[in-house]
């Protein structure tokens, strides 16, 4: 064990003693700090017990909006179906949030963050969101200190929707300078982040070596080469050391999916793609008669990757997951092919018809299914069969991926591609671009609320699924919030990759 690892272990022991506090505010703040600093994964058992104690605490005893909101968010974050009625006591006789709350910066921040965990049937959280956001925006306009940086970050990306590694990277330096900084937590967060970064750097190097050895870059010049971006995506789903194997598999799969997407979208003819799709339907990568060389090259690499997955499943004793991995992949290529037919024939699908196909072509149902099969050892076949039906939480995740991608993706409009949901919505309903954008953004928000609902009181067998859907969605917030930074990675994507994989946190 290195000196850094020894120091990390020593600090972890000190942190564990902090859980002995009986003070509710201290317990809430500790759990929140551990999450925001990205070191919560070291203390899962302690946090679980702390959350149980927090849930047992009677909420009407708390009169501080900051603590009520923080308690609500932490409990919901862990799947407790705490009622939003806890915020009713902060309303006046007219049913509006009390005006004195508008001067409580910490309270507004926590109220806004808590409102992000609302579901579709909780109007009080909509009111809380509007109230907090309005006053936070006012504070930014007048440059009101302190907390300006925190307000700006919260409005840009609420913590619930933020990629955990990126949120920690941005928060650790801010926390170190704050009056509330705990020196032990601050030191542990810095050491742990830099230690994990060295692990992640080695992993991305191994993915790059694998990618170069596959030789696709030398043989298929038409596709997008996105090794770093695909690893970054998988890092957003799993950053913990114990998930190294799963992280690498998903990074490799995302690289292959990028090539596959480009084959269907921009290169293959309908006739070639029919034969290509048939290979996946048969799941026989040796029967490639009639296929052009570039498709044969890709299928050879893909077949090798599937052998790697099969070996990993056998090692884990979960080889029975192989069938479900295969069956989760086939709807993706069917959707890709259907879109290719639409392009080839000039067919203009209706909005609902488009969504039925494009939710599958988003690849999220496939990615979530395969990720679950790779990480979970105790999945029953009936759970996996249910997953193939694209349950509500998976559909909502795919909806967010598809719509946010369509809203910002100029790349797809510039090449011969099926119309996006934005263009179809405008055409079908005879509305302006701004009206269509408002509708799609509303659908995104509703999908987030569906996910929040599904994450409350989950069945034990669905806990991993809920977390995966949530984590994959957070990556959409990072990659497609304002631009398609996957297709055009030289801006925000490049900066985020540098933050997580190049630049350590300095003392």
**According to the model, what pLDDT value does residue 380 have?**
83
DSSP, residue by residue, 128-190: HHHHHHHHHHHHHHTT--SSHHHHHHHHHS-GGGS-HHHHHHHHHHHHHTSTT--HHHHHHHH
> Has domain 194-501 been given CATH number 1.10.600.10?
yes
DSSP, residue by residue, 467-482: HHHHHHHHHHHHHHSS
DSSP, residue by residue, 296-317: HHHHHHHHHHHHHHHHHHHHHT
- Fold (topology level) of 10-188: Glycosyltransferase (1.50.10)
Sign of the CA dihedral 151, 156, 158, 163? negative
**According to the model, what pLDDT value does residue 216 have?**
80
**According to the model, what pLDDT value does residue 64 have?**
92
Distances (CA, A) of 50 to 44, 82, 112, 168, 330: 10, 16, 23, 21, 43
**Secondary structure of 386-432 in HEC code, one letter for each residue:** HHHCCCHHHHHHHHHHHHHHHHHCHHHHHCCCCCCHHHHHHHHHCCC
**According to the model, what pLDDT value does residue 319 have?**
92
Name the 3-class secondary structure at 39: coil
326-350 tens-digit pLDDT: 999 999 999 999 999 999 899 999 9
102-140 tens-digit pLDDT: 999 999 999 999 999 999 999 999 999 999 999 999 999
**According to the model, what pLDDT value does residue 170 have?**
95
* Angle, CA 238 vertex, CA 235 and CA 243 arms, to 5°: 115
* Angle, CA 189 vertex, CA 251 and CA 228 arms, to 5°: 20
Predicted TM-score (pTM) of the model is 0.93
What is the rounded distance in angstroms from the CA atom of residue 488 to the CA atom of residue 490?
6
**Secondary structure of 46-111 in HEC code, one letter for each residue:** HHHHHHHHHHHCCHHHCCCHHHHHHHHHHHHHCCCCCCHHHHHHHECCCCCECHHHHHCHHHHHHH
Q: Where are the domains of the chain?
A: 10-188, 194-501
Distances (CA, A) of 461 to 251, 323, 450: 25, 19, 19
> What are 440's two structure tokens?
């799609």
Q: Cis ω on the peptide bond leading into residue 9 (within 30° of 0)?
A: no
Taking 50 as the pLDDT cut, the residues of the chain under it are: none
**According to the model, what pLDDT value does residue 146 have?**
66
Place of tokens 């506090």: 21
227-268 tens-digit pLDDT: 999 999 999 999 999 999 999 999 999 999 999 998 998 788
């Amino acid at each position: 064990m290195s000196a850094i690892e020894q120091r990390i272990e020593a600090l972890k022991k000190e942190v564990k003693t902090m859980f002995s506090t009986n003070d509710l505010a201290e317990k809430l703040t500790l759990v929140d700090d551990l999450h925001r600093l990205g070191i919560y994964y070291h203390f899962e058992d302690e946090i679980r017990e702390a959350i149980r104690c927090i849930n047992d605490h009677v909420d009407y005893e708390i009169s501080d909006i900051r603590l009520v909101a923080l308690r609500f968010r932490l409990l919901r974050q862990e799947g407790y179906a705490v009622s939003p009625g806890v915020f009713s006591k902060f309303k006046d006789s007219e049913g509006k949030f009390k005006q004195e709350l508008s001067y409580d910066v910490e309270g507004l921040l926590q109220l806004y963050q808590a409102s992000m965990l609302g579901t579709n049937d909780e109007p009080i959280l909509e009111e809380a969101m509007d109230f907090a956001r309005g006053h936070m925006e006012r504070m930014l306009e007048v440059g009101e200190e302190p907390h300006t940086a925190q307000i700006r970050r919260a409005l840009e990306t609420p913590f619930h929707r933020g990629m955990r590694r990126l949120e920690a990277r941005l928060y650790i330096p801010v926390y170190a300078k704050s009056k509330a900084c705990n020196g032990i937590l601050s030191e542990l967060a810095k050491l742990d982040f830099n230690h994990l970064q060295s692990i992640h750097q080695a992993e991305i190097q191994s993915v790059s070596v694998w990618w170069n050895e596959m030789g696709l870059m030398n043989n298929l010049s038409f596709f997008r080469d996105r090794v770093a971006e695909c690893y970054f995506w998988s890092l957003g789903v799993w950053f913990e050391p114990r998930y190294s194997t799963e992280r690498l598999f998903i990074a490799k799969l995302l690289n292959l999916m990028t090539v596959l997407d480009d084959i269907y979208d921009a290169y293959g003819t309908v006739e070639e793609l029919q034969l290509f799709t048939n290979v996946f339907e048969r799941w026989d990568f040796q029967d490639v008669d009639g296929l052009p060389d570039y498709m044969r090259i890709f299928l050879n690499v893909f077949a090798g990757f599937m052998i790697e997955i099969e070996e990993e499943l056998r090692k884990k004793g979960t080889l029975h997951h192989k069938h479900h991995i295969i069956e989760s992949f086939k709807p993706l290529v069917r959707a890709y092919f259907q879109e290719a037919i639409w392009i080839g024939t000039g067919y203009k699908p209706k909005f609902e018809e488009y969504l039925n196909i494009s939710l599958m072509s988003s690849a999220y149902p496939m990615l979530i299914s395969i990720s679950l099969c790779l990480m979970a050892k105790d999945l029953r076949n009936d759970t996996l069969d249910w997953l193939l039906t694209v349950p509500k939480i998976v559909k909502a995740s795919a909806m967010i991926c598809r719509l946010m991608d369509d809203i910002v993706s100029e790349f797809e409009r510039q090449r011969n591609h099926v119309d996006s949901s934005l263009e179809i919505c405008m055409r079908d309903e005879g509305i302006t671009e701004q009206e269509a954008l408002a509708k799609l953004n509303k659908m995104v928000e509703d999908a987030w609320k569906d996910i929040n609902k599904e994450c409350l009181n989950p069945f034990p067998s669905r806990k991993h699924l809920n977390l995966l859907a949530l984590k994959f969605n957070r990556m959409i917030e990072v990659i497609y919030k304002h631009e398609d930074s996957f297709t055009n990675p030289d801006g925000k994507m490049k900066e985020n990759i540098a933050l997580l994989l190049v630049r350590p946190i300095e003392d």
